[in-house]
Amino acid sequence: MFLLQIDWDPIKFLDLGFFKLHFYSLMWIAAFLLGFQITKRIYKNEGQSEESLDSLFIYSVLGIMLGARLGHVIFYQPELITEDFFSIFLPFKFAGGFEFTGFQGLASHGAAIGMIISMYLYNKKVLNKSVIWILDRVVIPVASGAVFVRIGNFINSEIIGKYTGSDFGVVFKQLGETEPRHPAQLYEAFCYIFVFLALFYFYWKTKKSEQQGFLFGLFLVLLWTVRFFVEFVKEAQNIERAEWALNTGQLLSIPFILIGLYFMFMYKPKTKLS
């Protein structure tokens, strides 16, 4: 009767006494390390220097992490601005007692905006090529990283799905629950694997990388289409809404999808890449 039900009650961290090693943070580290290796292969194929690759890694980490954190605070937890300001930028909680929390509360929409801004700065300061050229290539490792981030969310029992109303699903024991929910985090992680494979295929097996904006646009369309539909089985995050209305995650996904379609089918670069 309960073959399709999973009781989920993992440990979230290793307590080393002076330091707690959160598995969620390890998922982010794995995402960046794998992304670095993928980008290294792409840059080698493009004839770019290792120095420019090292700079790209630094800009990417700072841009994505800051963007993800600020995005979460602005869209989902704005009270932190007045109640615990320094916890926005540091992996610590100060309100109600000092505590190491690791990097928690990160929004993918903010990460996307942060990535675009950091790539603009990276191009201006380091590469001097084209922001779109860079975005067409960095979205490939970003898509692979999204898989690890959602697995991290599952480990943390956060961004949970709605109750399934059946024996199917995951019981998040850490939340004190007894009824199964949709493992929305795993749905997303599984779909993001195919987003990565699609981008990887179009880059290495076709000439679409020569069409400026296509891969970046495809990334936006695929990733946020996945996000849009998975949101139907997610619990709303701290925001009241009517049952029939789209939630915040869906509303924020629509502009990204439209921008993606523009870059795939309408965008015309002003200058040709040499």
Q: Could you list the residues known to form a binding site, using ranges.
A: 150
2 CB neighbour count, 10 Å cutoff: 10
> Which tokens sit at 249?
């995650």
Determine which helix (DSSP H) or strand (DSSP E) holds 66, and give its type and residue range: helix 50-75
Distance CA 234, CA 163 (A): 9
DSSP-assigned letter for residue 238: S
Q: At what angle do helices 108-122 and 131-155 cross, to 10 degrees?
A: 150
Residue 230 Cα distances to 50, 55, 182, 192, angstroms: 38, 34, 10, 12
Residue 148 Cα distances to 107, 168, 264, angstroms: 14, 24, 26
